[in-house]
Structure 1
Amino acid sequence: MTTDEFLPRHAIVTASDSGIGAATAIALADAGMDVGITWHSDQQGAEHTAEAVRARGRRAVVAHFDATEFDTVPQVIDELCEALGGLDVFVNNAGASTPRRLLEVPMQEWLETMALNVDGAFLGMQTAARRMVAAGRGGRLIAVTSVHAHQPRVGLGAYIAAKHALLGLTRTMAQELGEHGITANTVAPGEIATAASGRDSEDAERTHRPGVPLGRPGKAEEIAAVIAFLASPASSYVTGADWAVDGGMLQMGPEAGSGLPDDSWREL
């Protein structure tokens, strides 16, 4: 089959109880998809996302999901697929970071960061891809990474190493799965106003960021809009690509480096 024959009807978005994940689930529902919604610690948030999906006339199935419980990851994804009636789009959004300087990172914390951001992502996308290959209808794999898959930041060494690995993994999937009509892409958010940062989309409009060309943080809905495009038939010839959705932040490397007024960037 070819990628331009792809018509998505069923999607799974991990960590869709809030923030980028919730906005993505809603955007995919707006695009006509039934959505599998997962949560790790906020079941109420997941149910709220499900209500928003159903309000758009689409089906929503909610499941608890821990990307670090490797024995259960395939089972949860398979159960969601069965409940939805198939799988066309898989968005790996689950991930987290713990700010800490590398000299202070315990080995166990390093391993936990890799387990969540890389190992669990690999297992989830592998499980999704196997189902897509077996179904023979093509598919979309989309991994949420970070601008820090390209540029480092003090205090996020383990997370940044993990996001670099996730970027490489997704690009290799693009190579290997193209013959099955499956595309694999990454979306790299910059600073986004979400509940995890104690802000929301309205706060983004009120927050000034001199070092970002667009002058503000992003909104979860702006990330979701790009993911929705990559999940759509319109992205049929896009694979192995990394989409920075960062207001131009990554373009400011040398400019920011020469323009910083003091050493505050060295602090966590």
Structure 2
Amino acid sequence: MVFTPRTAIVTGSDSGIGKATAVALAAAGMDVGITWHTDEAGAKDTAEEVRAQGRKSFTARLDTTDLPGCGEAIDQLAAELGGLDVFVNNSGTGDGKPFLDLDFATWKQTLDTNLNGAFVCLQHAAKIMVDAGREGRLIAVTSVHETQPRVGSAAYTASKHGLGGLMKVMALELGQYGITVNSVAPGEIATPMTDQTDEDPHQASRPGIPLGRPGDAREIAAVVAFLASPAASYVTGASWPVDGGMLQMGPQGGSHIVSTDWLEA
């Protein structure tokens, strides 16, 4: 039988990439559990968009720095959904502090949000899938900085490197249960996290990105939806950059480059 996902949870789906992903999975025929940290109104808006696709939606507050208690929100949503076929770990934060200025409290909050909390939530989701005895999809939204460092992002880069490595180990260990594990690594995406809530990425200029603009959250969601689909049944342990070619510019590429001089031979 072909695996056909019917239920999904997307963390941090009150806005940005998470919201776009929840709506994309609903359009693909899934009921969706939505989590929020501070923006309950945003989560309710996402839920309404999911329901507009004719699917069920449930919401829960999730604080990934609440360790290890944050996994309870995943258990709750899976119970309300009646199962869990797809889990998308999207919750994350950044701090932008250089290494010498980085205080331990900020380091810990970033690592707890992006890596330790992700571990707890992914493990809860995986156990639900294994106990159900059927296939599943685990997907993490990481970053291009999963593989490349960036000046001024010591904690963020460390957390995304760690999450990318965790996903690869999970792919090795969970394949025996028919569970695929993959990452999606966005570049600069126009979202609230990058202070571009209302910006049309197609109208913005980014000379340091080969495609010349930031990405749209829906462009990330489309790749997540593919990895969650039956069409991706033989894809696991992979990290999919969705970055307009940013990684080809090297670790300091992207928004720091303000001209197209690099294009000249």
Structure-2 residue corresponding to 1:212: 209
- Which residue in 1 is equivalent to 2:3? 6
RMSD (Å) for aligned C-alpha atoms: 1.9
Question: Which residue pairs with 2:155 in the alignment?
Answer: 158
- Distance in 2 (CA, whole Å) between partners of 1:150 and 1:220 is 20
Amino acid at match of 1:74: G
Q: Write the deviation string for residues 207-263 of structure 1: whole angstroms up to 9, x where unpaired.
A: 011111111000000000000000011000000000000000101229969x9689x
- Counterpart in 2 of 1:102? 99
Q: Paired residue for 2:75, among 69, 74, 78?
A: 78
1:196 corresponds to: 193
Amino acid at match of 1:80: L
Q: Distance in 2 between matches of 1:256 and 1:223?
A: 19
Which is richer in helix? 1
State the identity as a percent.
Answer: 60
Question: Which runs of 5 or more residues in structure 2 are unaligned?
Answer: 260-265
Q: Distance in 1 between matches of 2:205 and 2:258?
A: 17
Q: Deviations over 1:163-183 (max 9, x none)?
A: 000000000000000000000
- Residues 255/38 of structure 1: CA separation in 2 closer, same or farther (3 Å cut): closer
Unaligned runs of 5+ in 1: 263-268
For this pair of structures, how many residues does the alignment match? 258
Distance 1:48 1:104, change over 3 A: same
Task: Give the structure 2 partner of residue 51 of structure 1.
Answer: 48
Q: SS state of the match for residue 5, structure 1? A: coil
The separation in 1 between residues aligned to 2:13 and 2:190, in whole angstroms, is 16
CA contact 2:247–2:253 (8 Å) conserved in 1: no
Three-state SS of the structure 2 residue aligned to 1:187 is strand
Q: Give 2:114's aligned residue.
A: 117
Aligned to 2:237: 240
**CA displacement at 1:73 relative to structure 2:** 1.7
**1:26 matched residue in structure 2:** 23
| CA pair 212-133 structure 1, distance change in 2 beyond 3 A | same
Cα 1:210–1:56 shift into 2, 3 Å: same
Contact 1:11 1:33 in 2 (8 A): yes
Q: CA deviation at 1:74?
A: 2.1
Higher mean alpha-carbon deviation, 246-255 vs 58-67, is at 246-255
Aligned-pair CA distance for 1:152:
1.3
Q: Write the distance in 2 (CA, Å) between the matches of 1:49 and 1:256.
A: 33
Q: Which residue of 1 aligns with 2:179?
A: 182
Counterpart residue identity of residue 22, structure 2? A
Change (3 A) 1:136 1:261: closer
Question: Secondary structure of 1:192's partner?
Answer: coil
Moved more, 184-193 or 72-81: 72-81
Partner residue of 2:170?
A: 173
Q: Secondary structure at the match of 2:182?
A: strand
